[in-house]
Chains A and B, each alone.
Chain A
Amino acid sequence: MDVTPTWLGVVTHLHVTPRAFLPMRGMDAIELVEGRGIVGDRYMIGTEQGFYSDKPEDGRQVTLFEEEALECIRRDHNITMLPEEHRRNVTTRGVPLNHLVGRRFRLGGCLLEATRLSFPCKHIEEILEKPVFDPMVHRSGLNCRILEGGTVRVGDAVRPV
């Protein structure tokens, strides 16, 4: 049986930062560039300055994180983690990110292809001074490649194709 995806989500927060370790900055809109990354972000291919930029990765052009995961971490571990603290670019609501590996979907008008699940990084505990590594395992977001670029705004729809 071929099941047609029925979810429909929304972009709730957008964040970028130009270099490893620096605080993420909230944005109303970001510019995705096909095959490269986000204008002004540390993992834009060609101008990479991220923590993992010594390990180039074509499938890490934009990263997403579920707002619901932040709520789970608060509910299950009593740790408040803010959207600017998970260090992914796009915070979503209503998008089953873990189910999308290998699939294509629309982020606003852009087309993304999910390449793999994100892993949490132990260093995030040092940056945040919060014990979030274990709580983030298996719900640490999604890495994607940009197939069609464009502007993404807070409030944009996220939907299957």
Chain B
Amino acid sequence: MKHVQTVVREAEPAGPGVRRLTLMDPDGWPLPKAKPGAHIDLHLPGGLTRAYSLCGDPAQADRYVVAVKREGDGRGGSAFVHDALAVGDALGVSLPRCTFPLAPDAAEHVFVAGGIGVTPFLPMAMAAERAGTPWRLHLLHRDAPPLPDTLAPLAESGRAVLHDTARTPRPALSALLGPAAPGRHAYCCGPAGMIADFEAATADWPAGAAHVEHFVPPPLLPDPEARPFTLVLARSGREAALPAGAPLLPAIRALGGAVEASCEGGICGACRVRWLEGPPLHRDRVLSPAERERDVMACVAGCAGPRLVLDL
């Protein structure tokens, strides 16, 4: 079982084109902890995975809440979530990953969101409020905003400001953010154009004071030796181009290769595979030099040459 098993306990409309899901363990057991700003992958039928920010109260340890906006073409993951997923359905999800955390040393947070990009800021705002750190949220939206019930109390408090760009001129982000100041951290989640505007508006801010959500998991083991290479499975002839540092096991499996794995840290020996061309970059701690001439532990390996050909 390689995912967190959940059941859809609630599914409801939450603003225009948005469906909000409350996911819980089948027995209501606490779920793995999530930091404010974290996202999870939903594992959808057909091998689709889609990342969504958690938008519920981080103090509720027994649920993950996500808000899914229907995408324009309506064929991918969001269509399934809107049209097929029902209360009571089982849904596998990934562990929460936080690539968009609150700066721990901030004296003040300024959040700028575009439309459904507001989702990570809801738990971040709740956490900042509880920590007593001043915060402000600017949400740019057209017509009705997403998640109105969650936003209403935040707007009433005056700390969340909704800018309906269908009715009022679109504000300049630099005006919303204000100038850089000691301890002031700015965050943006929204469409690509808005992120570009944000990056321009914060270009002269101190390093590390402006944060953007990219939905890209951080590599577990940054390796300066890593380089891109082509993975080839000799028996099927199938191949794939891997970017530098890409993990090998998922790539092998995506090509239909069957390989056991257990520790996935290069010590248990389960994923030993014979290699035919490389040479591999061995990063395991189980194979002897002689064994490395023939075999490789796939879970941690890379490739020193342009092609890694495995006997699979």
Contacts and interface: CB of A to CB of B under 8 A. Distances in A.
Interface of B is mostly: loop
A13 to B, nearest CB: 17
Interface string A6-35: 000000000001111111010000000000
B23 to A, nearest CB: 13
Interface in B246-269: 260, 262-265, 267-268
Contacts of A55: 260, 262
Contact of B29 (A18, A50, A133): A18
A161 B265 CA distance: 35
B1 A20 contact: yes
Interface in A124-150: 125-127, 133, 137
Given A51-B1, A53-B1, A126-B220, A19 B25 contact: yes
A51 B2 contact: yes
A87 B32 CA distance: 13
A52 B262 contact: yes
B4 A22 contact: yes
A127 B32 contact: yes
Given A19-B25, A55-B262, A121-B264, A127 B1 contact: no
A54 interface: yes
A135 B4 CA distance: 26
A39 to B, nearest CB: 14
Contacts of A50: 1
A119 B267 contact: yes
Interface in B10-46: 25-27, 29-33
B95 interface: yes
Contact of B220 (A22, A23, A125, A127): A125
B99 interface: no
B25 A119 contact: no
A123 interface: yes
A121 B29 contact: no
A49 interface: yes
A129 B263 CA distance: 16
Interface of B: 1-5, 25-27, 29-33, 95, 220, 260, 262-265, 267-268, 285, 299
Interface of A: 17-23, 25, 49-55, 119-123, 125-127, 133, 137
20 contacts: A20-B1, A21-B3, A22-B30, A23-B29, A23-B30, A23-B33, A51-B1, A54-B1, A55-B262, A119-B262, A119-B267, A121-B263, A121-B264, A122-B220, A122-B264, A123-B264, A125-B220, A126-B220, A133-B265, A137-B267
Listed from nearest, the 7 A-B pairs whose CB atoms lie closest are: A122-B265, A122-B264, A20-B1, A119-B268, A119-B263, A21-B4, A23-B30
